[in-house]
Amino acid sequence: MFGFLKKNDGPALQNEPKKPGWTERLKAGLANTRNRLGGLLRSGRIDDELLEELEATLLMADCGVEATQWLLAELKSRVKRDGLETAEQLRETLSVLLSEVLKPLEQPLDISTHHPFIIMLAGVNGAGKTTSIGKLAKHFQQQGKSVLLAAGDTFRAAAREQLAEWGRRNDVAVIAQESGDPAAVIFDAIGAAKARDINVVLADTAGRLPTQLNLMAEIAKVRRVIEKAEASGPHEVLLVLDANIGQNAIAQVKAFDKAIGVTGLIVTKLDGTAKGGVLAAIARQCPKPIRYIGVGEGIDDLQPFRVDEFVDALFAK
């Protein structure tokens, strides 16, 4: 039945080659959008043509129609109110507006409110969910917290193996089962965490599309079982979103929120072809706290979302 995947007593990971710091990696990930905005808003005067080009740039950056219209309306209002004339002034104002729209999403996750603090993770296949769990485990360990992983994706052997590997890398126990009911695995993990006085439980679930109604019903059941194991749980329901999917992210947030009550987001893969504007779309259409953003596969490539840092990366010269 259930069992712990033992902690690894072997040697620590070899030192990885030195890589750029977090800020540099974030800037590199957002280079596509930053270069477009920089090229457009570097010089010249504000006119209708510039505003039309800016509208197209924001749409191409995955801001979505609603957020783009709001930003443009606010820009035009401030151009008139403050007598703005140059593209550089428009750039500075856009930076301020984007910070304003994103600021409500900057809500760091507080895991001190319950013991154990139970985090349920969900998302579509390929979003980076299992990898994010490994990174979160390391993040909480660095805060001095003990962590237990629940391999709730019982359908894919590769998912269990991947989670087990993250457990070994982080020296964290994993509760797993080769097949069967994912809710039962997570129920057992919560009991084990209580018995072992663990601080944080990270519960993985199988990837699924919002259109797979039977699987959405199943994940709703997982949440109900967590509530049976711990009446106050789950204490956080994180939806993992691939930043490259653009406006599809909005549909995912709404569908998973309806099924399991999403309380926070992890936005991954901002190091690829992602354009970054989807965060503004989320803020305007389905505002949920963005707990973490990711810019790579490394164990330290997931960091708390900080608006000023993100906007600076978008508008850095």
- Please give the C-alpha separations between residue 99 and each of 13, 68, 207, 217, 220, in angstroms, as whole numbers: 38, 14, 32, 37, 34
pLDDT value of residue 316: 81
pLDDT value of residue 4: 47
pLDDT value of residue 290: 98
3-state SS track over 122-136: ECCCCCCHHHHHHHH
pLDDT value of residue 53: 95
- What tokens were used for 107? 């809500």
- What tokens were used for 263? 């309380």
CA distance 306 to 302: 12
CA distance 17 to 203: 31
The end-to-end CA distance of the chain, in Å, is: 57
pLDDT value of residue 6: 43
Residues 87 and 40: beta-carbon distance below 8 Å:
yes
Q: Which of 290, 307, 315, 277 is nearest to 66 (CA)?
A: 277
pLDDT value of residue 98: 96
For 8, counting Cβ atoms within 10 Å of its Cβ (0-12 exposed, 13-18 middle, 19+ buried), the class is: middle
Hunting for tokens 């550089």 — which residue is that?
88
pLDDT value of residue 11: 41
Q: Which alpha helices (H) appear in the chain, and where do they start and end?
A: 22-29, 31-40, 48-60, 64-82, 87-102, 129-141, 157-170, 182-196, 213-229, 248-260, 278-285, 307-315
Low-confidence stretches of the chain (pLDDT < 50) are 1-2, 4-13
Residues 205 and 122: beta-carbon distance below 8 Å:
yes
Residue range 292-306, pLDDT digits in tens:
999 888 878 899 999
Rg (CA), the chain: 21
- Please give the C-alpha separations between residue 270 and each of 85, 239, 279, 293, in angstroms, as whole numbers: 33, 16, 11, 7
pLDDT value of residue 122: 96
CA distance 40 to 270: 22
pLDDT value of residue 8: 43
Residues 280 and 65: beta-carbon distance below 8 Å:
no
Contacts 24+ apart (CB under 8 A), 9-14: 13/169
Domains and CATH numbers, the chain: 3-8+110-306 (3.40.50.300), 22-105 (1.20.120.140)
- What tokens were used for 121? 């993770």
User: Positive or negative, the Cα torsion across 267, 272, 275, 276?
Assistant: positive
For 284, counting Cβ atoms within 10 Å of its Cβ (0-12 exposed, 13-18 middle, 19+ buried), the class is: buried
3-state SS track over 173-230: EEEECCCCCHHHHHHHHHHHHHHHCCCEEEECCCCCCCCCHHHHHHHHHHHHHHHHHC
Residues 243 and 127: beta-carbon distance below 8 Å:
no
pLDDT value of residue 16: 53
pLDDT value of residue 194: 97
